[in-house]
Amino acid sequence: MIKLMRVDHRLLHGQVAFTWTQSLGVDSILIANDDVMKDEIRKTTIKLAKPQGVKLVIKSIEDSIKALQSGVTDNYKLFIIVETIKDAVALASAYPEIKQINLGGTKPIKEGKQISKTICATKEDLDSLKKLSTSGVKIEIRQIPSDTPINPFT
């Protein structure tokens, strides 16, 4: 069961590893990211941030989609973390069981628009998120679980 998918350019770090994991009651974290798969140093750093007692899996976007679709993740209380809005849209579009996307933090980008203190998105990102939103995926901006969720489209 997917508890949440979060967009966070830092991927797994203290706030995510402990606050979100505990709040969601997850037993498994999936880091879905193509670049991390090619970078052993980043992979090692992410593994060091893993909370004790929680399974950590790092896969490419394509392999993450295959794993979700195969049902291999069905027995876990799963927290998916991606680095970009584009990656979140790819996963949610390929796997409709993803019902919620939390926007936690993105890197500032030249062609992007700052939609909150921590979220910068391109027009394409926003259009894709809006399309997911109209199909029933809840989109929220929220740093920590105790923050009030903000709908970026209201």
- Domain locations in the chain as residue ranges: 2-141
Average pLDDT over residues 36-54: 94
CA neighbor of 130 nearest in space, from 151, 104, 146, 107: 151
Nearest to 21 by CA among 47, 57, 50: 50
What pTM did the predictor assign?
Answer: 0.96
Q: Examine the pLDDT at 154 and tell me if it is beyond 80.
A: no
Backbone φ and ψ for 58, nearest 5 degrees, come out as: -120, 120
Q: What percent of the chain has pLDDT over 70?
A: 100
- 147 Rama sector, left if φ>0, alpha if ψ -120 to 50, beta otherwise: beta
Q: Which CATH class is domain 2-141?
A: alpha beta
Give the pLDDT score at 135: 94
- What is the pLDDT of the chain when averaged over all its residues? 95
Known catalytic membership, residue 13: yes
Which one is catalytic: 9, 13, 42, 50?
A: 13
Give yes or no for a contact between 131 and 91, defined as CB atoms under 8 angstroms apart: no
